[in-house]
């Protein structure tokens, strides 16, 4: 049984919504970061679904660029989180309101 475009877009929308609400509701920067990555994966899933539906490889090419940028984002984002933890001793957003010290 093959899933159609609607099923892929519904799944993509649900993943994006889950990531969006995770960013809004969570207090831990690592969890927020994972939710941002989940939103990025949801958008790539939609791109691939549209590409498959249209019978082109355009979406697949965009996904490769997105994954390349995501790899750089992961390296920089985790480095920032580790630096914040070393400086402040926590990764809770409530305790990191003031970044200047």
Q: For residue 26, is pLDDT > 80?
A: yes
Summarised one tens digit per residue, pLDDT across range 49-100 is 999 898 888 888 888 898 898 889 889 988 988 888 888 888 888 777 665 5
Angle at the Cα of 91 (from 20 to 71), degrees rounded to 5?
60
Q: How many CA atoms lie within 13 A of 101 on its CB side?
A: 8
Whether the predicted model's global pTM rises above the 0.85 cut: no
Which ranges of 1-101 would DSSP assign to H, the alpha helix? 5-25, 29-54, 58-88
Summarised one tens digit per residue, pLDDT across range 2-12 is 788 899 999 99
The widest CA-to-CA distance across the chain, in whole angstroms, is 58
Q: Which domains does the chain have, with CATH numbers?
A: 5-92 (1.10.287.3510)
Instruction: Report CA torsion sign: 47, 53, 57, 58.
Output: negative
């Amino acid at each position: 049984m093959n899933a159609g475009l609607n099923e892929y877009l519904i799944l993509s929308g649900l993943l994006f919504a889950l990531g969006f609400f995770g960013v809004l509701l969570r207090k831990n920067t690592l969890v927020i970061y994972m939710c941002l990555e989940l939103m990025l994966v949801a958008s790539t899933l939609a791109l691939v679904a549209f590409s498959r539906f249209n019978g082109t490889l355009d979406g697949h090419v965009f996904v490769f660029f997105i994954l390349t940028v995501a790899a750089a984002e992961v390296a920089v984002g985790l480095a920032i989180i580790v630096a914040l933890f070393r400086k402040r001793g926590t990764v809770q957003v409530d305790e990191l309101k003031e970044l200047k010290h």
